[in-house]
Every structure is written in structure tokens, then in C-alpha cells.
Amino acid sequence: MKRTHFTDRELDFLTRMRVGRLATADAAGQPHVVPVVFATDGRNIYTPLDEKPKRVQPRELKRVRNLFENPKVAFIVDHYEEEWTQLSWLLVRGTGTLVENGEAHVTGVRLLQKKYAQYEKMSLKDRPLIVIAPSDVTSWKPLQE
């Protein structure tokens, strides 16, 4: 039985963690993975396309080209410690959709601006977001003190 919602512990983990990694794959099955900032409204994950560090158009980014070929994604948020009994992670498998406007875009921008003070100086309004809709959520010890 696949779970599509987050538990309270998982939501707390997602709220506190600052970086995740988003995996996509092209039509030929070649995976791609990038570090991303993210926010959640409790149901979906929102991650912005940055112009930086690469000076490429958002739609030319490999992760975006992959999404158009194959919307399936995997997203991991994990906490590493040298004491390996304290490792924790949350894995979301689902589908990714590029949004450039509309309700989902407004929601994502608001959540990202609230979570990351860095966006006070960088407008997200004109940047596409990827919205990840979970189809399978799994985790290992997502609570940290």
C-alpha cells in the first residue's frame, strides 16, 4: 500500500531541512540528480528553477527537459551524521510538473519566500517552479531533535 501523504514527523523534517536532491530521468532512462531548495504545503513539494549557477534558460535545464520526456521523479531529503545510527531520510517518488503561473505557482512562491530569507532579494515571481506530487512516500527516522 503506497502512501501519498506525509506524517507529522515527516512534515516537521521537511520544514526544518534546507536542501533536498531531485532525481529525474530522460526517455532513455539516464538519471539526473541536482541539489535543490524546496518547500511544502503539506501535500506537494515546490522547488524553484534558479537562473544561477548556470546561465541557461529554465526550460533548457536538464531536469526540465527530462520532465517533459518523463514526468516521474524521486526526491530525497536526508540528514547525515558521522554517528550512523542518527541518519535519517525521507524519500518521495511521484510526478513533477513545471508551473509558470496560476494557483500552484503562487502557493509555491509564497512558501519558498517564507522558508528562505534569500528570496527577499531575489524575485521568484517570474521563475518556473517544479511541483512534485507524491505517489509513494517512505522515510527512515525523519525526526531529529
The candidate with the shortest Cα–Cα distance to 77, out of 142, 5, 131, 129, is 142
Binding footprint of a second copy on the chain (CB under 8 A) = 18-19, 21-25, 27-35, 52-54, 70, 72-76, 78, 80, 82, 84, 87, 89, 91, 93, 118, 140-141
Nearest Cα residue to 94 out of 132, 124, 131, 121: 132
Smallest gap, in angstroms, from Cβ of residue 130 to a second copy? Answer: 13
CB of 42 to a second copy, least distance (A): 22
Is residue 58 reached through a cis peptide bond, with omega within 30 degrees of 0 on the bond before it? no
Which lies closer to a second copy via its Cβ, residue 18 or residue 125?
18
Nearer to a second copy, 74 or 130 (CB): 74
Three-class DSSP category at 93: strand
User: 101 or 138: whose CB is closer to a second copy?
Assistant: 138
Least separation in angstroms between residue 95's CB and a second copy is 10
